Chains A and B, each alone.
Chain A
Amino acid sequence: MSDEKEKIHIFDRPENVNRLLKGFYAICILLALADFVLHRHIGFDWEKIPAFYALYGFVACVLLVLIAKQMRKVLMRKEDYYDE
């Protein structure tokens, strides 16, 4: 690595990260609201729940991560587990 002062990159500035996140939240809100304006075709009954896909995506991912975290307690071993 060189000693010269390194360039400041885009995500080194917290305000850029915040801007990105704010934009992202705004899109999420718009998408959820769109569900009340636009009409989706309904295949299954549960699709009738307002913002079904948004709720499902959020809940699914939170559950996924929380369950996976618990799985670590049972499944995780040291890196050289098989090499012993």
Chain B
Amino acid sequence: MSELPPFLLYFAAALLVAVTRGLPRQLILLATPVVTGLYLWLGINPGTDVAYTLMSYELSFLRTDKLSLLFGYLFCIASFFAVIFALHVQDTKQHVAGMIYAGSALGAVFSGDLISLFIFWELLAISSVFLIWARGTERALKAGMRYLVYQVLSGVLLLAGALVYYHNTGTLAFNHIGLDAGVAGWLIFIAFGIKCAFPFLHSWLTDGYPEATVTGTVFLSAFTTKVAVYSLARGFAGEEIMIYIGVTMACFPIFYAVIENDLRRVLAYSLINQVGFMVTGIGIGTALALNGAVAHAFSDVIFKGLLFMSMGAVLYRVGNINGSDLGGLYKSMPKTTALCIIGALSISAFPLFSGFVSKSMVMTALMQENHGYFWLLMLFASAGVFHHAGIKIPYFAFFHHDSGIRTEEAPRNMLVAMGVAAALCIFIGTQPQYLYALLPWEVEYWPYDLTHVLAQTQLLFFSALAFVWLNKQGLYPPELHSVNLDAEWFYRRLLPAGAQRTLYLLRSAKESTLTTVTTHMQGMQNEFSKSPMAKYHLSESWPTGSMVFWISAILAAFLLLDLFGLGR
């Protein structure tokens, strides 16, 4: 039993989901994550390594240790609530894509070699884009295409890096790679970096995720970036450059989040901010920091899923997710409001909620390693998270001024899905020992001491006070219908504009060349007609018609001669 790679269960479910409808399909969707989760929990021991031979190459599809198992459990939990949230959806394409996508994420974290990893890397890309395209709008179609280009590019870099790595080291095993591996190391690092939304490589995320379907975004937020976090933790733990990258990721998106109007895009920016904490932890590379990074990935998938679900529920009911158009929805969607607030408290790392027990590990690790300035910047990012994800999201959607929108509470399946996620947020936050027991590295840590709790509570309450004060002073920027320029500007505006400019230049060059040549020809013609030669009949320019006429006349003559046997 323990030789079956878990992704096969999801792929089999995808097949079944494609051919079934109604209740049977819903049962299959619900059973898959539960069965797979139990199988991982009970049937697989850390240290398994099962290889399959395919075309004389050994693919290691099931290499397990505590690190891969942690992400395995996480992906089962995430797909469980995502499936419940999407249970009402009729669209077969989305269910199939969701199953293959979740299965590929499981396949990727259990891959023991770089080629298997590459296969699932590309499957993640291809399956997930359907969750964007399924929205069916022109914008979604285009955003999906841009998203796919990024994802496939990441896969190509990974494959190239794997081949160079094989050439240099003679192995394809996926263990610690490090940037010392030269070109191979950098290629693979950038491939991971694209999926992890490193700064300037991040715009596929903020561009694509908000355009996906209501339920698709919940899937999207869980898998791609977390597979990348896992891969970085395995391949590049302790690379110092990641501290710089991670701190940048934690800090720059919060500015965008403050001025962004589309609340799902606000969450996309805050996703990058949270992944920044994980990348920083991996960059520090101590046992506590690495544990913090993966633990934070665990809590993030759940609370970010919860927030995306609550905004998805609003989008589903209201048909709009712009902060400028919402407000006062707590009146018609009180349960969604309460669940969203639990997600907001978790992402803000309030004591007793899940973000607190994982993020504090990264912060403590920064302190232990004496990274004072980075620690200050991360503290700034922590305050910023609360500001945009913790307050802005619930405030502009559910409170603020009454927009006059009256709608219904979210459908029951959505409430159940959000309830599951919210319960997990509180469970992890209050009983962190169970999560800590799953962490891969051995280290003693307990988040609840006076210093941590007091410091964090002060930080958050005074961040909230700043929000209240800015609002009372009228300094808080209003939500506006707008687009904010980001890294995507380079390929959505600069590149097309540059291409158009080049085309325009080429076209005018062609025209001027043509004019020059024809004027010269005309000039020569004029000169010639003045010369004595022009008097001869043959040197006149004849119309093409008469030439064709004479050629046919000659051919006809030959034909006649031939027919009558003359000239033979």
Q: Are A31 and B259 in contact (CB under 8 A)?
A: no
Nearest-neighbour CB distance to chain A for B34, whole angstroms, equals: 39
A40: interface (CB < 8 Å): yes
With both beta carbons as reference points, the residue of chain A lying nearest to B260 in the complex is identified as A68
Verify if B541 is at the interface (C-beta below 8 Å from A). Answer: no
Within 8 A of A (CB), among B423-450: 449-450
Task: Let me know if A64 and B258 touch, CB within 8 A.
Answer: yes
A65–B461 touching, CB < 8 Å: no
| CB contact between B458 and one of A53, A68, A76 (< 8 Å): that residue | A53
- Checking B380, B384, B450 against A40 with a beta-carbon cut-off of 8 angstroms, the contacting residue is B450
The one of B462, B469, B470 that contacts A53, using a Cβ cutoff of 8 Å: B462
A47: nearest residue on chain B (CB-CB)?
B455
In the bound complex, residues from chain B placing their C-beta under 8 Å from that of A77 are 482-485
> Which residue, of A38, A55, A64, has the highest number of chain B Cβ atoms within 10 A?
A64
Contact between B459 and A76 (Cβ–Cβ < 8 Å)?
no
Residue B468 is within 8 A (CB to CB) of chain A in the complex: yes
- Contact across chains for B383 and A44 when beta carbons are under 8 A apart: no
Is there contact, CB below 8 Å, between A61 and B467?
yes
Contact among A40, A68, A79, A83 for B255, CB-based, below 8 A:
A68
The segment from B162-170, B306-314, B473-481 that touches chain A is B473-481
What residues on A are CB-neighbors of B493 within 8 Å? 82
Contact A40 B259 (CB under 8 A): no
A64 touches B384 (CB 8 A): yes
A57 & B470 in contact (Cβ 8 Å cutoff): no
- B458 — which chain A residues lie within 8 A by C-beta? 31-32, 34-35, 51, 53-54, 57
Cα-based distance from A21 to B461 in the complex (angstroms)? 12
Within the complex, the shortest CB–CB distance from B333 to chain A, in Å, comes to 12
* A44-B372, A53-B455, A56-B379 given; A65·B476 CB < 8 A: yes
Cross-interface CB contact of B492 among A65, A68, A75, A82, cutoff 8 Å: A82
B485 touches A58 (CB 8 A): no
Give B47-70 interface residues, CB cut-off 8 Å to A.
none
Q: Does B77 contact A (CB under 8 A)?
A: no
Q: Which residues of B contact A44 (CB under 8 A)?
A: 367, 372, 375
